[in-house]
Structure 1
Amino acid sequence: MSIQLGLINNLVVNEIAYEGAYLTDAQGNGEVFLKKEELPEGLSINQTLDVFVYEEQGNLTATTKTPIAQLGDFALLQVTSINKVGAFVDLGIGKELLVPFNEQKPKFELSRSYLVKLYLDKASQRLCGSSNLNKFVKQESDRIKKSQEVSIIVAGRTDLGFKVIVNNEFWGMIFTDQVFKPLFIGQKLQAYVAKVREDGKLDIRLSKPGVAGSSELSDVIYEKLVSENGVIHLGDKSDPVAIKKMFGCSKANFKRAIGHLFKEGKIDLAATKISLIK
């Protein structure tokens, strides 16, 4: 396998010089330079290193620092400078990532953070970033199923709720009535598909659907009861805002979960109180 720009590569130390080390892939192909100040103590010829490969002044360069994101990833990155070719965002390795002006939607402002996709520019073969997310995210899913667990990245807020990128590939929506904890742009979470619409668009929820979700919430409530000496002043007549504040869930899900605990004989129920049966 050849050396891959924009990714962490496992490379072999081919030569150690005063200015640094030269690394190749396992077959001895290609060559990247690792600066002297990043050489691990006791480094030897033929030792392997995990390094991130980027381009510096037209040459492939390696770093042992871990980047915030790699080629193909979406990440929330902060703008560090802007010049005549575009904006530069912090990648966490001391080398900024270029986001060309024509890839900025909206136009970037200094010191602000934006969700960007890391891609390889075909013309220049340079690692770049883009906030024009519709170029990389599909509007309709062709292989996601209802109730499937998925990975999501929060991409933006709308009047309906939060737009999310599902499995790094498709757009999805978490509607406002399904948001029971703080969400922020760039946040990565595990979630579940509530519905696949006829047009292929995805409705996403943060909690597990059905019995599985109620059971999981029941465990959280039970642990809270134990930590609160067996009593919580919430019940099936309590204010939904108070329930959301304590457990980050809807009142309907809360009622299902405490109903599950009641049927198991673990709690007593009152209008605004639940208590452990000891």
Structure 2
Amino acid sequence: MNPGKIQLLKIAEKNYSGLFLEDENGERAFLPKIFASEDAEIGDEMEVFVYQDDDKLKATTEKPNAEVGEFAVMTCVQSLPSGAFMDWGIIKDLFVPYKQQKQKIVEGKRYLVHVYIDEFLGLITGTTRFKRNPQYEDLPFRKGDKVNLILMGEGELGWNVIINKKYIGLIYASDVYKKLFPLSEEIGYIKSVREDGKIDVSLQPEGYENNDEFQQIILDKLNANYGLLYLSDKSEPEEIKQELQMSKKNFKKAIGGLYRDKKIEILEDKIRLLDENE
């Protein structure tokens, strides 16, 4: 049995209050009747999330915001001197002990929480205290991989982010081309996995193979501005960043392709959308 994980278990016993689910080793977790299908039969397999409640293993068909080993943004539903209870998407709230709070958790506010098994108590626990830029081994990423991000916060080098709910990475300030907000979600791309196991991420794909995306952004902006955009290859990077949320490098690649395809005209201080007949 793996507490804190979604897993496939077999129905071993039924009674008036619910089902007893069993793993291959014979260990059991109780699934309350409210989560059990009426036509469930002994021997059937069910995908459930297993958690702990009063030193007993219970199961639910609800999906938590994060399993053990993952991060998620959670709202505090109750704050006590001993710790805080967080809504993590299932019937039982997740406990974050006071000593595991980076700052005191306030009821009603949202926090980034990491779920783990306390090594002394053996209980599923939450924490808001974790390293901002850890070193990893055997990472499952390659340069250019598209990933899901949760924004942690801004530091001296840039934005710390959670990658695919499991890993901490960094977006350098020079790669940020739009307004970002802590705890919001973004799509990102693996920029590099360094030899020291740290992960660099970008908000935009790199290379000519992704040029179509940038070209479309520019065409959309031209169409929305009556065919004119007061940017050119001589524009300052900050102007391009503010208007299009892309780097000057990607902007120049994109307008170069649009010019070769005779879709735009590049003037000294602006670009102009060409009519199909021009």
In structure 1, distance between residues paired with 2:8 and 2:15: 20
- My pick for the range that moved more, 42-51 or 210-219, is 210-219
The answer on 1:115 being equivalent to 2:109 is no
- Contact in 2 for aligned 1:230/1:276 (Cα 8 Å): no
> Structure 1 residue 65: deviation in Å?
0.9
The answer on 1:206 being equivalent to 2:203 is yes
- Contact in 2 for aligned 1:194/1:203 (Cα 8 Å): yes
The answer on 1:33 being equivalent to 2:30 is yes
In structure 2, distance between residues paired with 1:239 and 1:66: 47
For residues 45-103 of structure 1, give each alpha carbon's deviation from its aligned partner in whole angstroms, at most 9, with x where no partner exists. 22221111111111111111111111110111111112243111111112111111111
> Structure 1 residue 222: deviation in Å?
4.4
The answer for the alignment partner of 1:7 in structure 2 is 5
The answer for the alignment partner of 1:273 in structure 2 is 271
Closer, same or farther: CA 141–73 of 1 in aligned 2, 3 Å: closer
What secondary structure, in the 3-state scheme, does the structure 1 residue paired with 2:67 have?
coil
The answer for the alignment partner of 1:63 in structure 2 is 60
Closer, same or farther: CA 207–64 of 1 in aligned 2, 3 Å: same
> Structure 1 residue 166: deviation in Å?
5.0
The partner residue of 1:139 within 117, 134, 137 is 134
Amino acid at match of 2:213: E
In structure 1, distance between residues paired with 2:71 and 2:170: 17
The answer for the alignment partner of 2:93 in structure 1 is 96
The partner residue of 1:47 within 33, 44, 47 is 44
Closer, same or farther: CA 229–48 of 1 in aligned 2, 3 Å: farther
Structure-to-structure mapping, 1:225-236, within 5 angstroms: 231-236=227-232
The partner residue of 1:78 within 75, 79, 82 is 75
In structure 1, distance between residues paired with 2:137 and 2:87: 34
The runs of 5 or more residues in structure 2 that have no matched partner are: none
What secondary structure, in the 3-state scheme, does the structure 2 residue paired with 1:109 have?
coil
The partner residue of 1:21 within 16, 19, 22 is 19
> Structure 1 residue 249: deviation in Å?
1.3
- My pick for the range that moved more, 229-238 or 92-101, is 229-238
Closer, same or farther: CA 202–53 of 1 in aligned 2, 3 Å: closer
In structure 2, distance between residues paired with 1:176 and 1:149: 20
The answer for the alignment partner of 1:129 in structure 2 is 126
The runs of 5 or more residues in structure 1 that have no matched partner are: none
What secondary structure, in the 3-state scheme, does the structure 1 residue paired with 2:178 have?
coil
Aligned-pair Cα RMSD in Å: 3.1
The partner residue of 2:145 within 149, 155, 159 is 149
- My pick for the range that moved more, 76-85 or 211-220, is 211-220
> Structure 1 residue 229: deviation in Å?
10
In structure 2, distance between residues paired with 1:37 and 1:172: 40
TM-score normalised over the length of structure 1: 0.82
- Contact in 2 for aligned 1:153/1:164 (Cα 8 Å): yes
- Contact in 2 for aligned 1:72/1:118 (Cα 8 Å): yes
Report the number of matched residues: 271
- My pick for the range that moved more, 28-37 or 115-124, is 28-37
- My pick for the range that moved more, 209-218 or 111-120, is 209-218
- Contact in 2 for aligned 1:150/1:167 (Cα 8 Å): no
Amino acid at match of 2:98: F
Amino acid at match of 1:29: G
Amino acid at match of 1:17: N
For residues 121-141 of structure 1, give each alpha carbon's deviation from its aligned partner in whole angstroms, at most 9, with x where no partner exists. 11111000111112xx65345
Structure-to-structure mapping, 1:179-190, within 5 angstroms: 179-186=176-183, 187=185, 189-190=187-188
